[in-house]
Structure 1
Amino acid sequence: MQDSDYIIVGAGSAGCVLANRLTESGKHTVTLLEAGGTDMRFYVQLPLGYGKLFYDPAVNWLYKSEPDPGLAGQQDHIPRGKLLGGSSSINAMVWIRGHRADYDEWRAAGNVGWGWDEVLAAYRAIEDNEAGADDWRGQGGPLHISRNRKGLHWLVEDYIAACRQAGLPYNADFNGVEQEGAGTYQMTIKGRRRNSSARAFLHPAMRRKNLRVLTRAQATRVIFEAGRAVGVEFLKDGQRQTLRARGEVILAAGAIGSPQLLQLSGVGPGALLQEMGIGLQHENANVGAHYSDHHGLNYTWRMKVPTYNDMLRPWWGKLLVGMQYFLTGGGPLSKSINHGGGFFRTRPDLPRPNMQLYMQAFSTLLPKAGERPLLTPDPFPGLSLGLSNCRPTSRGWLRLASPDPLAPPSITANAFATPEDIQEMLEAVKFLRQIAAQPAFARWAKEELRPGPLVQSDEDLIADIRARSGTVYHQSCTCRMGPDAATSVTDPRLRVHGVAGLRVIDASAFPNLIAGNTNAPSILLGWKGAEMVLADAR
């Protein structure tokens, strides 16, 4: 197979951006390896269709965590995209950059070029925001962002009013001047279709002759010669093949795939690699360490008025919303279920929000087996208010469970392992009930179903948090960047410490977890990472 200047492993949120930007000038040849297949599937393109992808092995890695004491001993389901677009093709499409202080913390830790001022310029260049350009938003970039103000369920307005009555102000733009407040989320939706990283960045680039995209091609190890990454070994059509890079190998396989591939290639904790019979290329205990994720749960009410349950559960309701979607491009199927949301502080002395809110005008207490039942909700009018932590202090880890590259790694999430994390969750659920007690919301609520009015004491609330919480799918930091090789995997230019010709450019390289959904910062990593690759090639 013909060599390339650059090999990118993983066509996810960052990988699609890398493929686009590295081939834009026409000067460089790029091969993009993706273990999954095409994103040209109905439920991928249908915005609300992501509920059908939650347990679909055709497009989903379907990882599971180890039994977690912080989650009452349960194994958590960890869906990750296995197709063009990666997790941006199966996610809930919420566009949140994070708090400006998150990025200033990245810079303060020695990651030059990653402060708020630098990333703001990149975000504005990336975006084509329906709300228009200003000092914070961009317009004219390759990624269209929906303002998400039309066609929302009418209960969203009352949710926002209840938040205001509880002391949380209205916020028209969580990516603007302030993150704190309640409002509606911007979405990566364009027209009636999901606007994944594949749609916005990869498909336009695939028309270029200098980009080769190989699907169903699973990387099994990075090939090193004299301490330099020179290629990738991969499986395609049952055959083991190799591909060499004249320039660099770039891992963009995500917070699970990238550290797994590094360990399979001999870069990682020495004792683990010796145990697995893998030759040591470079010892670094940080590979797979510092695993960070947001965890949260829903509180659910039976409502006195119709919610999306009444529309999406009966066959005739499915027919009506389907006709509405196909005829007009609107209706519930054209959106994520998270119509409303917000950010708040559990204590007034905190300098910035530490909790994220989600308002969903539907409920799924009676799930259908094997499916996240967005299209099969409860047989009664229900509504859920959810929350998740923004900056957990608990850290987990990821390790090879087998030297077999096709075997999933062992993932220890270690959720709610610190007193700080469980205390802020306790404070958060109490505030969630305060919102629900406000007149704007309480007038429509018939009864609290989960956890229910009998769960009142701190002890019982904490037990409920542990029993019902789970990941909100923001895994990161397992190949974290930093200037010190003793505490990180990549340097601030995303080059892997201790070897040459190899970078990691995806959410695994976050120095720490940002406040909010991680699709936007993953795309940011691809955008700025490509600039660094090109600058260093001169």
Structure 2
Amino acid sequence: MQTVSVDDFTRQSFDFIIIGGGTAGLVVASRLAQHGKFTVGVLEAGGVVNGRDEVEIPAFFGRALGTDIDWKFESTPPGTQGGVKDQWPRGKGLGGSSAINYMGWNRAGRVDYDAWVELGNPGWGWDDLLPFFKKSETVHPPSSSTQEEQDIRYDPNTLGTSGPIQITYPDEYSPSHQLWIKGLNSLGVETNPAPYSGSNAGAWTNPSSLGLHTKARSFATEYCSLAGSNLYILTEALVEEIILVKADSGYVASGVRFTHNGQEYTVSASREVILSAGTIKSPQILELSGIGNPEILSRAGIDAKVDSPMVGENLQEHKALIFVVDVDPELENPDELILDAEKAAAAREQYDQDKTGPLTTMPGSFGMVPFTKAIQQGALDKICSQVDALTGLSPEKKALLEQRLRNPDKIGLMEYFFKLGAGAFGGADSRHGIIAQILQQPFAAGSIHVQPKSAATDDPVIEIGYYHGPAGEIDLELMLQSTRFARSIMLAPPFNSVVRQPFLPPASAFEDDEQMKQIIKSGTRAALHAVGTCAMGGNAGIRGGVVNERLQVYGVQRLRVVDASIMPLQISAHIQATVYAIAEKAAHMILEDVAAQ
């Protein structure tokens, strides 16, 4: 991985400038540089994070949050709902959020991606994206004994075997894992025989972005080995704006202005500027550059160049509620590695010596549950009637979301996962675990915009209002009704031999709807899967989104956005694998467009 000095960077003549050396940015940069004919520059606000324990060691996932390699964003309090500020961690360093996330690797269902096409974005359906999912990954199957013991199933024809990101299943499993799967089975949630093949509904074992032999995080910096000396990466470079030049047909992106160690610089791109700063930073940089809603730009003291009203709008995030539960004290609990210094030291020695033991394990007990399983039919019919009366969504999006409620057979719209250990979630000692309930398809959307009189060093304003307005009321009811299913999981044999009783909230809360609603409102947190703020506009064009299906920014030539912000609708999956696929497809499209010129 080649990082250079600011002097070396600024003396280059670049074909492409990529803003952001994160998950998507390094994929696009490396694939373009791999082509061999182009000089590619990457501007990254953070530094190199490879080699840090909190990045590399699997069981240390989550420890990087709140550190110097996290942007440490916060959302605004949700108005009069009595909520609190929510933490919105994002990776600040080469690799972006792929360096600090929880390493979950899964795909959404066919209907999620085909919905993007139905909105008017050809080329973004399941069949279109599958080759790029496969191109990004090397999936290492579990041993035959592990596969049989843990009932791990998948279709190898849909998985990649030569991509840069290494995907592995855990070598060791807690006794609770199979009990979790069987407990879901007893509730009618069947084990999915091919969860990466177009239907993610059901119970299954989730792999992680983890090296097979290194037992270290596999993340976006792996892509840099594809490129040669024509890839230049500058770290600690904060982008101030994209330079736009007036042309007869609008504006052309010609380069980027940025600061490094307090000094201001500009660089030019002869072919394209590619914005890959993520769902939070990408709309902020567009607005700082004069692309956005003129009223918002005016309040920030920014001259409006391109009237693009959807910049920063359409913010969609998975809504997570954590249940802390008392568990069987005889089970080996990961929290003991934190609470017991002797066990922690022994685990570290084992990891350093042969890359085995507790520090290599990752949670893999997942269930993606259709609402027809999680919610009683009468309650679901009532929610559907609320959707019928809903305004504020485009007719196309409303129809797609409503269809998923009514016909969700092959899509899991409520995620549940189980993890032993709850130290970060209110557990007092090692005798706790967590069950997470995560709403996959929220109706309510938020926004991300620059602050008034804003500068690049200011954090943008994240307005999410999880349960605000009629759309938020639908989300609240979906979460409330689904808590009953969460309680059913705790009681389901044989998993009920693991969970003794709810701890936070207590068992009594599950019997009181009003109390549970307050718990949901105050306890919901972002699942760190935000999308949509620079979405593909589809049939609605610039009035419905920010980029077209080639990810080109409306109203600006030679400027694209490539990251999670381009998703027009949220998906029923952790987004990491999809972001890699988006970036792989984007690089392919860019090379196609160059060849056609």
Query: 1:112 is paired with a residue of what secondary structure?
Result: coil
- Between the aligned partners of 1:116 and 1:177, the Cα distance in structure 2 is 7
Query: 1:218 is paired with a residue of what secondary structure?
Result: strand
Is 1:496 matched with 2:519? no
Q: Corresponding residue for 2:177?
A: 156
Q: Corresponding residue for 2:240?
A: 220
- Between the aligned partners of 1:214 and 1:173, the Cα distance in structure 2 is 41
**Cα pair 2:155 2:196 within 8 Å, conserved:** no
- Between the aligned partners of 1:232 and 1:342, the Cα distance in structure 2 is 44
Is 1:448 matched with 2:502? yes
**Cα pair 1:267 1:287 within 8 Å, conserved:** yes
> 467, 485, 502: which is aligned to 1:416?
467
- Between the aligned partners of 2:579 and 2:506, the Cα distance in structure 1 is 37
- Between the aligned partners of 1:73 and 1:130, the Cα distance in structure 2 is 43
> 397, 401, 404: which is aligned to 2:455?
404
Q: Corresponding residue for 2:202?
A: 181
> What letter corresponds to residue 78 of structure 1 in structure 2?
W
C-alpha distance after superposition, 1:504-525 (max 9, x if no partner): 0000111111111111111111
- Between the aligned partners of 1:70 and 1:44, the Cα distance in structure 2 is 38
Query: 1:392 is paired with a residue of what secondary structure?
Result: coil
Query: 1:503 is paired with a residue of what secondary structure?
Result: strand
Q: CA deviation at 1:431?
A: 0.6
Q: CA deviation at 1:411?
A: 0.4
- Between the aligned partners of 2:186 and 2:336, the Cα distance in structure 1 is 28
- Between the aligned partners of 2:194 and 2:159, the Cα distance in structure 1 is 9
Higher helix proportion (structure 1 or 2): 2
> What letter corresponds to residue 466 of structure 2 in structure 1?
A
Is 1:519 matched with 2:576? yes
> 514, 524, 533: which is aligned to 1:459?
514
Q: CA deviation at 1:461?
A: 1.5
> 128, 131, 147: which is aligned to 1:121?
131
> 196, 210, 218: which is aligned to 1:195?
218
Q: CA deviation at 1:134?
A: 2.9
Q: CA deviation at 1:120?
A: 1.0
- Between the aligned partners of 1:179 and 1:110, the Cα distance in structure 2 is 24
Alignment of 1:48-197 (within 5 A): 48-56=59-67, 58-69=68-79, 72-131=82-141, 134-146=156-168, 148-190=169-211, 191-197=214-220
Is 1:354 matched with 2:378? no
Q: CA deviation at 1:448?
A: 1.3
Change (3 A) 1:395 1:38: same
Alignment of 1:2-21 (within 5 A): 2-21=12-31
**Cα pair 2:334 2:430 within 8 Å, conserved:** no
- Between the aligned partners of 1:406 and 1:365, the Cα distance in structure 2 is 30
Q: Corresponding residue for 1:325?
A: 351
> What letter corresponds to residue 459 of structure 1 in structure 2?
E
Q: Corresponding residue for 1:434?
A: 488
- Between the aligned partners of 2:359 and 2:464, the Cα distance in structure 1 is 32
**Cα pair 2:77 2:465 within 8 Å, conserved:** no
> 361, 369, 372: which is aligned to 1:344?
369
Unaligned runs of 5+ in 1: 368-376
> What letter corresponds to residue 355 of structure 1 in structure 2?
M
Q: Corresponding residue for 1:474?
A: 529
Query: 1:436 is paired with a residue of what secondary structure?
Result: helix
Q: CA deviation at 1:310?
A: 3.2
> 544, 552, 555: which is aligned to 1:487?
544
C-alpha distance after superposition, 1:270-315 (max 9, x if no partner): 0111122211110111000001100111112112223223344211
- Between the aligned partners of 2:33 and 2:454, the Cα distance in structure 1 is 34
Q: Corresponding residue for 1:313?
A: 339
Q: CA deviation at 1:177?
A: 4.9
Q: CA deviation at 1:115?
A: 0.8
Is 1:209 matched with 2:229? yes
- Between the aligned partners of 2:454 and 2:518, the Cα distance in structure 1 is 37
- TM-score, normalization by structure 2: 0.85
> 280, 290, 295: which is aligned to 1:266?
290
Q: For structure 1, which segment, 212-221 or 416-425, has the greater mean C-alpha deviation from structure 2 after superposition?
A: 416-425
Change (3 A) 1:169 1:69: farther
Q: For structure 1, which segment, 456-465 or 77-86, has the greater mean C-alpha deviation from structure 2 after superposition?
A: 456-465
- Between the aligned partners of 1:30 and 1:167, the Cα distance in structure 2 is 51
Query: 2:448 is paired with a residue of what secondary structure?
Result: strand
Q: CA deviation at 1:126?
A: 2.1
> What letter corresponds to residue 480 of structure 2 in structure 1?
L
Query: 1:96 is paired with a residue of what secondary structure?
Result: coil
Query: 2:336 is paired with a residue of what secondary structure?
Result: helix
- Between the aligned partners of 2:425 and 2:268, the Cα distance in structure 1 is 51
> What letter corresponds to residue 61 of structure 2 in structure 1?
Y
Q: Corresponding residue for 1:508?
A: 565
- Between the aligned partners of 2:486 and 2:104, the Cα distance in structure 1 is 21
Q: CA deviation at 1:470?
A: 0.2
Query: 2:282 is paired with a residue of what secondary structure?
Result: helix
Q: Corresponding residue for 2:49?
A: 39
> 286, 296, 301: which is aligned to 2:325?
301
- Between the aligned partners of 1:173 and 1:236, the Cα distance in structure 2 is 47
| Identity rate, percent | 29
